[in-house]
Amino acid sequence: MSDPDGLPSAPTLERIASAAAQAGAAVVAEGYGKARAVARKSSPTDVVTQTDLDAERLVGEQLMDATPNAGLLAEEGGGTAPHARLQWVVDPLDGTVNFLYGVPLFAVSVAAAVDGEVVAGAVIDVLRDELFSAHRDGGARCNGAAITVSSCDRLADALAVTGFSYRAGLRARQGEVAQRLLPLARDVRCFGSSALELCWVACARADGYYERDIKIWDYSAGAHIAAEAGAVTELPCPENDDLIVAAAPGVFADLRAAVELRPV
């Protein structure tokens, strides 16, 4: 079913996102173990591989075939049709550094936004073949089975996950935040894929996630999936120093307070 303006319904967008993510995952899996950096972006440590480019091309083609009038905002290729009501937000390989080093933890992320609001998304853990997906007011799923956030209600019992900026100065401040959080939480982990870390909050493998200096293609699908699974979420903006938080309702407030940047 489509809306009166001809846009696909949110459940249909979830299915399209899922199929495109799976197609991208096949490309990424084929390239695993053969990776080499072909470019650098924001810093010498922020790399691009040929697999990023190949997966993005295929995902974009599949999305445009399904929704020819949509726009596409992708990590490596920039944006097209910025005024289209439907925008696809794509990270063709979230966890590129892991992929480059042979660390078996990376994902393909695809989100659908209508009039600026994410209404559907899919994230696939490439090597585990776990497909996380959700659509607005439809709950969240892993390989089709419903998932929900944890019932943890104390930060002291919470497993928190995070990531770090490619910018050395900010990374130093993020280290200070992590040092402050460590004695307050059960533990803190960094796995190198924000999309998967958000999905792990959604399925209760972690109790909370936070990060700064993260891009829209990194978090759009994962944050939507976490929210549909019952997480409390806060998205990046200038007013919160570009912080994203997604956590079980019982620990959100304490986690949010613990990771506040302090004046230097």
148-198 pLDDT per residue, tens: 999 999 999 999 999 998 888 888 989 999 999 999 999 999 999 999 999
Would the pLDDT of 112 be above 70?
Answer: yes
Number of residues that this document lists for the chain: 264
Answer for the pair 230, 149: CB distance below 8 angstroms, yes or no: yes
Q: How confident is the model at residue 81, as a pLDDT? A: 82
67-90 pLDDT per residue, tens: 999 999 997 776 778 889 999 999
130 by Cβ neighbours in 10 Å (0-12 / 13-18 / 19+) ranks as: middle
* Averaged pLDDT of the chain: 92
> How many angstroms separate the CA atoms of 108 and 221, rounded?
10
Q: What percent of the chain has pLDDT over 90?
A: 80
Query: What are 180's two structure tokens?
Result: 């402050």
| CATH assignment at residue 171 | 3.40.190.80
Answer for the pair 210, 243: CB distance below 8 angstroms, yes or no: yes
**Do 48 and 137 fall within a single domain?**
yes
Q: Which of 92, 119, 147 is the last residue of a domain?
A: 147
> How many angstroms separate the CA atoms of 73 and 64, rounded?
12
Count: domains in the chain: 2
Strand partners, 40: 47
**Do 14 and 128 fall within a single domain?**
yes
Q: Minimal CA–CA distance to 86: which of 179, 166, 6?
A: 6
Would the pLDDT of 234 be above 70?
Answer: yes
188-210 pLDDT per residue, tens: 999 999 999 999 999 999 999 99
Q: Which of 147, 177, 200 is the last residue of a domain?
A: 147
**Do 106 and 43 fall within a single domain?**
yes
| CATH assignment at residue 45 | 3.30.540.10
Q: Which of 90, 112, 147 is the last residue of a domain?
A: 147
Answer for the pair 165, 218: CB distance below 8 angstroms, yes or no: no
State the CB neighbour count (10 A cutoff) for residue 38.
12
| Containing structural domain, residue 81 | 10-147
